[in-house]
Amino acid sequence: MQGELMNKKAQTVSFEMLMWIPRIVYLILIIIATTGIIYAYIATNVSVGAVESHILLHRLQHSPEGIAEFDAETKRVYPGFVDAAKLSESNLKAALNAENREFAARFVISDLNDENKEVVYFDRQAYGVWAPVAAFVGIQQAQNAETSGSGRKFAHSEARYTYISDSMQLSKLETVVITPDE
Amino acid sequence: MAKRGQYSNTKIWFLVAAVLLAAVAGFDLLSDTQQRLSGTLLEKNFIARDVALTIEALYAAPGDVAYAYDLKKYMNKFFLNIGDGKVFVEAGSDEGDVSYRVVGSDKVILSAFKIYRVIDRDKPVRLIMSKKFNDDGTAIISFEAENARGTNE
């Protein structure tokens, strides 16, 4: 009788000791979860994706190494005039020394009836992947909803009338620049 | 009586160990949180990104331009280093350094520059960014500092 009682007590003690292990693990998980929630509300970064897209778009459209007409003798850039020879993927890559999947852009030149379209990409593969994500971000921003997550893509688009310098033909230039949020 | 006392002691010791473990883990994580709140990571990120975007905007200039960027008194606690296509903001403390890349161009050379000492700590530091075109159509972006010592590495 006493022996059986001792065995049951021993069993109770060993069970209690074993049960402390999951209790301690659970306690640590709760502490980690609480700290994670606190970290989520601490801002340590500034999102500049949208601003950078805007700057890079204007760089391509207005800088001498971009698509704008540039007179080498007078060293003058003519904004509003597009040099058709510069509207190529190789020239865009030289104008922006960006690594793969660091920046993507699409230029569409068409006549005023939206016909005879010519499309040029900067990093075509990345543009194809990022464009739907960037469109989603745009919708969210339009609804004044906060977007979160490191996979955001920021698109900046512009449409303007330009002259093609060779033919002096009035055309429409639509540009979309997408940068990831870092 | 002694065996019942032993049984209670075991339980108490486990309870004490669990509380100590929770206290140590909680204290460590909360002190890390407090360090993040009082730290300078946000300021360093802001300065790195703002300077990088200003340089990218300078790339767009179609002619010679000089722009003075006001760094206020941040250089009293940080070091600014521009090079390798990135802007680095370094702190002298144990906190990590921060960098942000600059999307460059094959036709524009970005000079390296580092601010390593402030002359008068009561006055703000200004970073003078200059872009100058060469005769062959290439350009160079260079830097100088007002109220600070800098080096072109």
Give A104-114 pLDDT, tens digit per residue: 888 888 888 87
Q: What per-residue confidence (pLDDT) applies to A142? A: 44
- C-alpha A178, offset from chain centre: 6
Q: List pLDDT tens digits, range A139-181.
A: 545 444 344 445 667 777 888 888 888 777 888 888 888 877 6
**Which residues numbered 120-179 in A keep a CB inside 8 Å of some CB on B?**
none
Name chain B contacts of A68, Cβ cutoff 8 Å: 62
- Put simply, whether B12 touches A (Cβ < 8 Å) is no
* Residue B44, helix vs strand vs coil: helix
Instruction: Count the Cβ atoms, other than its own, within 10 Å of residue B24.
Output: 10
B59, B100, B106 member nearest A59 (Cβ):
B59
Cβ-contact B85, B110 below 8 angstroms: yes
Per-residue pLDDT band for B46 (boundaries 50, 70, 90) equals very high
Extract long-range pairs of B84-88: CB within 8 Å, 24+ residues apart. B84/B112, B85/A97, B85/B110, B86/B52, B87/B48, B87/B51, B87/B52, B87/B55, B88/B48
Across all residues in chain A, what is the average pLDDT? 77
Q: For chain B, what is the mean pLDDT?
A: 85
B3, B44, B103: best to mutate for the A interface, most A CBs within 10 A: B103
Among all residues of chain B, which has the CA nearest to that of A95?
B105
pLDDT at B113 over 90: yes
